[in-house]
Amino acid sequence: MRERSASDRYTLRALDYPDRPLSACTAESFEAVLAGKMPGTYNRHRAIIVAILNLAGIKIKIPLRRVKQGRTRFLSESEWKRLYKELPAHLKPMASFALATGLRQRNVTHLRWDQVDLKRKVTWIHADQAKGGKPIGIPLSSDAVKILRAQVGQSAEWVFPYSGRGRKAGAPITKIKTAWRLALKRAKIENFTWHGLRHTWASWHIMAETPIGVLKELGGWEDLRMVQRYAHLAPEYLAGFAGNAKPWKGLKRVA
């Protein structure tokens, strides 16, 4: 049996699906945990789940979702300020850090202090934690460093531990659902997910004239095509070439 790729293993670890016997893995149980995913993400998770269960001899049918080609949703500055104001205390630093680094949700919620060097102002994501299966090194902005310094002392292991009471105190926050949705509702922001913070980070970079190649490395994308979706946000890049379409006068003869 072929071992799953690092990307597939990352996807499965990020899926909020409790351990259970294979006999209890039903289409309904997977549909329930995938319910909040966007169509593209839902279909990728579904494909991995179905493939693994098929190898285990279990045949289940999880329907595909139709993927519509829509706009990349990102926040304006005023929307972010409204959302930040409405976020509960335990989500404010995580959301701010996601917006400052572009890191994916699990890479933020499960960030460990041994992945951070505040003196050098860098953090890193190990290969088995990265969606692309390759390690990522992230230089930290002054905003990101400020957020991390405020987290020092809360946990010896986790950067963003749950600070409430009960058995989850001190552990990573595994579910960002109800409090997030309520904050969005109070801020009157629609059609936005946590992953939209990564889109916002990338969009703001492009609009601030960060080169696409640099953004690719900062975001840990393997394929430049994944970054091209943001290119239209900075048409001024092309402005200097807009007047180049002039009548061609033919090749000059060399004496």
Active-site residue set: 104, 131, 195, 198, 221, 230
Residue in 2, 3, 13 with CA at minimum distance from that of residue 128: 13
Rounded distance, CA 76 to CA 203, Å? 10
Let me know how long the chain is.
255
Residue in 91, 105, 90, 69 with CA at minimum distance from that of residue 201: 105
Residue in 27, 17, 44, 5 with CA at minimum distance from that of residue 195: 44
Measured CA to CA in angstroms, residue 150 lies from 46, 89, 146, 168, 193 at distances of: 38, 13, 6, 21, 25
Structure tokens at 65: 């979702």
